[in-house]
Structure 1
Amino acid sequence: MDEMLGGGVQSMSITEVFGEFRCGKTQLCHTLCVAAQLPKELGGAEGKVAFIDTEGTFRPERIKSIAARFGVDGDACLENISYARALNSEHQIELAEQLGNQLADGSFRLLIVDSIMAGFRVDYSGRGELNERQQKLNQHLSCLTRLSEDYNIAIFLTNQVQSDPGASSLFAATDGRKPVGGHVLAHASATRILLRKGRGEERVAKLQDSPNMPERECVYVIGEGGIKDST
């Protein structure tokens, strides 16, 4: 996946992964929480991680098992993760706006939001509230983009999918599904990756949009120690 992305998750921009339930989005987040703290010679960023959890999917024990795979202390890894549970979309927006105070010390390298649209989909339902939802989402994404640029950090978002009955054969790779959030989220995300299930524990990641890399796929496995090459 690092090779597909041209070295890894890019800083000073937003990377979005989307896919259906149980395709491995949160597992990728947990792996990144540890990988971002590794020394640079091991592909890490030697920095702390901020994690905004909108669905209650963060698991400290998962961090410890992934840390063990990399040969680092699990408790130390958890201490370097600044975690917050967002209760709704307004709370999610407030948490992002308050992050500037923490990020200012320069020790953070990654901000994860898992997932970006869950709260917005609950708080704004139906076509009558779609315009207001997109305006709020746009403001939130502008804040995240500003944080990434001001503090030179990578922003990693997970996103859900929805059925797209009007999808043509050109989009057959998405299996009739598309990421939620519309054009607002599409324009904000510099890099977009589709995740889907493969055989057994295999997962397939398809790079659909990137500012500097061609469209391509990679296959990886989700194991006890997080994600790893399928070989």
Structure 2
Amino acid sequence: MFLNFGYITGSDTLTRRESVIRITTGSQALDELLGGGIETLAVTEAFGEFRSGKTQLAHTLCVTTQISYARAFTYEHQYNLLLGLAAKMAEETFRLLIVDSVIAVFHVDFTGRGELADRQQKLAQMLSRLIKIAEEFNVAVYMTNQVMADPGGGVLLSDPKKTAGGHVLAHAATIRLMFRKGKGEQRVCKVFDAPNLPEAEAISFSFALLIYFMTFIVTCIIP
């Protein structure tokens, strides 16, 4: 386990960083953008509009490792799944945790401005659990997020959208990736915010080819 609740030295921090593992995304351009892939000891958030490639990347990450799947129907169910997963990680070695999407169940369970404060508090607890899992078990957390129209964006912005979850989610993510549609079936990934990566972008993959790849893999795994 990697979590330390006390003070550690700079040398200990360096040693800890040397244990970081980078998981390939299946795209050479995207791996180069991310310095080798999705890294452990960190929470990576991918956000963008519908069909921009967030979930497709999650699927690719799954098939480049192994598939262990659970579906959450409420925020409480999702939180309990994380608690159970932490116990499982204490017994077995895991390197990747995917949450697709981190905010969806909160949209179902909390509605209206009257429940916003409670929703943000529960979301913060969920994110805190994800951060702890990443740091305690040297796991890469990849979570997708949605974007929504920003009424205060104004007409001067070329794309007046903002990410769901507000600052609570934005501050919890170590690395933030913005996905958008490119030409034809291409999808573009931009490093929106990261402590150790420059702000840059790359054409990550072809959407059509990835769908074909996923169909082929699922067909092979599930007869």
TM-score range, shorter chain: 0.7 to 0.9
Residue number in structure 2 paired with 1:25: 54
- 1: CA distance between counterparts of 2:156 and 2:79? 35
- Map of 1:185-196 to 2, 5 A cutoff? 185-196=169-180
Which piece of structure 1 moves more, 97-106 or 132-141? Answer: 97-106
Distance of aligned partners of 1:144 and 1:179 in 2 relative to their CA distance in 1, 3 Å threshold: same
Residue number in structure 1 paired with 2:161: 177
How far did 1:26 drift? 1.1
Q: Does 1:112 align with 2:141?
A: no
- Map of 1:189-208 to 2, 5 A cutoff? 189-208=173-192
Residue number in structure 1 paired with 2:40: 11
User: Which consecutive residues of structure 2, in runs of 5 or more, have no partner in the other structure?
Assistant: 1-29, 215-223
- Percent of pairs with identical residues: 54
- 1: CA distance between counterparts of 2:157 and 2:95? 34
Partner residue of 1:97 out of 77, 80, 83: 83
Q: Does 1:82 align with 2:71?
A: no
- 2: CA distance between counterparts of 1:186 and 1:95? 22
- 2: CA distance between counterparts of 1:3 and 1:164? 32
- 1: CA distance between counterparts of 2:157 and 2:206? 25
- 2: CA distance between counterparts of 1:159 and 1:20? 9
- 2: CA distance between counterparts of 1:9 and 1:106? 20
Partner residue of 1:225 out of 197, 210, 213: 213
Partner residue of 1:125 out of 89, 111, 126: 111
- 2: CA distance between counterparts of 1:4 and 1:168? 31
Find the residue that maps to 2:31 and give its secondary structure.
Answer: coil
Q: Check conservation: 1:18, 1:161, Cα contact below 8 A.
A: yes
Q: Check conservation: 1:15, 1:190, Cα contact below 8 A.
A: yes
How far did 1:157 drift? 0.2
- 1: CA distance between counterparts of 2:139 and 2:92? 9
- 2: CA distance between counterparts of 1:170 and 1:28? 31
Which string of whole-angstrom CA distances, capped at 9 and with x for unpartnered residues, describes residues 41-68 of structure 1? xxxxxxxxxxxxxxxxxxxxxxxxxxxx
- 2: CA distance between counterparts of 1:163 and 1:130? 17
Q: How many residues align?
A: 181
Output the TM-score relative to the length of structure 2.
0.77
Which string of whole-angstrom CA distances, capped at 9 and with x for unpartnered residues, describes residues 87-109 of structure 1? 11111111011111211134211
Partner residue of 1:210 out of 180, 194, 197: 194
Output the TM-score relative to the length of structure 1.
0.74
How far did 1:34 drift? 2.1
RMSD (CA atoms): 1.6
- 2: CA distance between counterparts of 1:6 and 1:167? 33
How far did 1:25 drift? 1.3
User: Which consecutive residues of structure 1, in runs of 5 or more, have no partner in the other structure?
Assistant: 38-79, 227-231
- 1: CA distance between counterparts of 2:76 and 2:95? 24
> Over alpha carbons, which structure has the higher Rg?
2
Runs of 4+ in 1 over 6 A off after TM superposition: 168-171
How far did 1:139 drift? 0.5
